[in-house]
Structure 1
Amino acid sequence: MNLDKFKSIFTVLVLGIIGFIVHKILFHFLVPKAYEAGFIYSIELLYLFFFFFSAMLILALDKVKEKSINSVGYTFLLLTTLKMGIAFVFLKPILAGNLPKTPTEKMSFFIIFIYFLAIETFVTIRILNNKQ
């Protein structure tokens, strides 16, 4: 069984878990429990959502790499744009809210989004640098 295919997914998983743990620790000390309990989407759900999309994106990039290494960058841009559109749909209820917890929830959403975007970019660069 070729485990190199899953190396990129494993990287996303490990970095996602590390980010989640750091995020939860910071929330434990900095954010009131009532704020976190009132979030539209829990932190756990957001991490699962973004991990799922990151994993699908990386799997798609691995498939594209097998066919044509020259198309990996374009595929990354297309799938990232699609993910941004879907994330915006998820973000709309948060943006519509005007409660004291809303800025904290917006900031948390964007931090998770940017964190997974950075992970995807890192893994995509690794895929492009391994042109064998």
Structure 2
Amino acid sequence: MVNDEVNNKAINIEIKVAQYSAKAILKAMKKIIEDADEKSQPLADYISEKRKTNSRKLKDMVKKGKLENIDEQIENKFYAFKDYAYRRKINWGFVRDKDTRLYINNTNYTKEMNNENWKRLEDLF
């Protein structure tokens, strides 16, 4: 019985993440189409040009310290968890490390940890 409830909760979280992901993908696709139209370029040419100018390997970005989290859907997951936790009245938060200290955020997702949303875990507990 408990396993079924846990499985159902996990499935609900995955569904929410998929919904947020789909919305984000649609929004990005619309923006790309609009940008291509503004430049009067065929969509395939615009995408090809963008890929050449903006491509960087994620491994290289992580090695250079420019990107710690390589999960491209992390923001969608954050808001899916936030919504789920709110509905179920669960205390939660995303935890990251910075300079050997742990920080937690459960308000608004930001990649930059110098934001007021990221609070030192030791200050809260």
Superposition TM-score, scaled by structure 2 size: 0.36
Return the structure number with greater relative CO, CA threshold 8 A, min gap 6: 1
Higher helix share: 1
Superposition TM-score, scaled by structure 1 size: 0.35
- Give the number of the structure whose alpha-carbon radius of gyration is greater: 2
